[in-house]
Amino acid sequence: MKHLSILIPDGQANLMKIVGTREIFELANEIFEDQGYDPVFTIQFVGCAQQHAFVRGFVSLTPELHFKEVDRTDLIIIPAIEEEEVDAFLVRNQSLLAWLINQYRLGAQIASLCTGTFLLAATGLLDRKQCSTHWTAADEFQKRFPKVKLVTSKIITEEKGLYTSAGSFSSFNLLLYLIEKLYDRPTAVICAKDLELDIDRRSQSPYVVFAGQKDHEDEGIRQVQDYIEANTGERLTVESLAAHFAISKRNLERRFKKATHNTPVEYIQRVKMEAAKKQLETSRKTINEVMYEVGYMDVKAFRTIFRKITGLSPLEYRAKYNEEY
């Protein structure tokens, strides 16, 4: 069985995220056991002190282990912190940084919830990687960690075994994402229904589906991916990408498929449809206007690809996710 460390750092962390994380993973274990499987994780609160106080001292939580007692763990969850106390928080938790780095080097995956990203970024592990955090903390985060690629438009990011989430309840979308990845999709769906969470909320992020596909060593292909995601309104083709990056079409297709497990055409379609979904969720633009903004001119082709990827027509999707319709 794998080991899950739910971190209780020294300072004002979000009690709801700490307890909620344990609840959702314990539920996932129970669902797995009901299906005749062994639980995936042993779950423990891992802290910096014998006891941690929350809510102005009215509530306390006792960790099962001090972090120095954990020689090896498989998954670490860092809860949200109170951003107005970042300086003092990082000073108090300086000793945690080396432990997090060492656990990651030993193979642990690390997920930060909301403003917990500050602690993860302080390790340096997020340098030159994408991450998200609460939008109200974005300016402060960028000042402190200029080497990190902050993308607050995304609800979830994943890169090289490091996960981050945007603010508030989107943290639970990250937890569902982890359960889907580390258990299976049916277990994540049951957890979402039991806790009355929207498992598909991460689809609000234009490119979250593709974050994991950048976990490869081909920097040239990562540049092509970034270019596709930054130019959703253009009529992109494999030929135009090959010309732009001075690479042969055949070589581009081969390397792209090897790195991302998608063809360039599939990748372009998925990125464009995610951008279209965001427009349908948040604007009153017509279907044709959305179609043109993501670089399509053929209504039939746009609708066909949209349904293929989302399972809904553009009108059905808008009715489901845009409150103004």
Q: Which domains does the chain have, with CATH numbers?
A: 2-205 (3.40.50.880), 217-321 (1.10.10.60)
Q: How far apart are the C-alpha atoms of 96 and 270, rounded to whole Å? A: 39
Q: DSSP states of 185-224 as a string?
A: HHHHHHHHHHTT--GGGGGGSSSGGGGGGG-SS-HHHHHH
Give pLDDT, residue 298. Answer: 93
Q: Which long-range contacts (CB under 8 A, 24 or more apart) does 295-301 make?
A: 295/232, 295/233, 295/234, 295/235, 295/236, 296/272, 297/235
Helix (H) or strand (E) holding 259: helix 249-260
The answer to which of 151-165, 210-224, 240-254, 308-322 has the lowest mean pLDDT is 210-224
Task: Using pLDDT thresholds of 50, 70 and 90, give the confidence band for residue 81.
Answer: confident
Give the mean pLDDT of 72-81.
Answer: 93
Name the percent of the chain lying above pLDDT 90: 51
Look at residues 91, 132, 128 and name the one whose alpha carbon lies nearest to residue 111: 132
Look at residues 59, 85, 73 and name the one whose alpha carbon lies nearest to residue 7: 73
Give the tens place of pLDDT for each residue, 37-68: 999 999 999 988 777 766 556 677 888 999 99
Assess whether pLDDT exceeds 60 at residue 205. no
Look at residues 94, 97, 116 and name the one whose alpha carbon lies nearest to residue 13: 116
Assess whether pLDDT exceeds 70 at residue 13. yes
**How many Cβ atoms sit within 10 Å of the Cβ of residue 277?**
24
Look at residues 81, 51, 77 and name the one whose alpha carbon lies nearest to residue 64: 51
Q: Number of helices and strands (H, E) in the chain? A: 14, 11
Buried b (16+ CB within 10 A) or exposed e, 21-53: bbebbebbbebbeeeeeebbbebbbbbbeeebe
Give pLDDT, residue 206. Answer: 30
Q: How far apart are the C-alpha atoms of 243 and 159, rounded to whole Å? A: 28
- Global pTM value: 0.63
Collect all residues with Cβ–Cβ distance below 8 Å to 54 and sequence separation of at least 6.
12, 13, 15, 60, 61
**CB-CB contact of 95 with 48 (8 Å):** yes
The answer to which of 44-53, 62-71, 128-137, 159-168 has the lowest mean pLDDT is 44-53
Assess whether pLDDT exceeds 50 at residue 33. yes
Collect all residues with Cβ–Cβ distance below 8 Å to 318 and sequence separation of at least 6.
280, 281, 287, 325
Give, in degrees to the nearest 5, the angle at Cα 264 between 262 and 269. 85
Q: How far apart are the C-alpha atoms of 102 and 76, rounded to whole Å? A: 12
Q: DSSP states of 75-140 as a string?
A: EEEEPPB-GGGHHHHHHHTHHHHHHHHHHHHTT-EEEE-GGGHHHHHHTTTTTTSEE---GGGHHH
Residues comprising the chain, all counted:
325
The answer to which of 134-143, 158-167, 192-201, 286-295 has the lowest mean pLDDT is 192-201
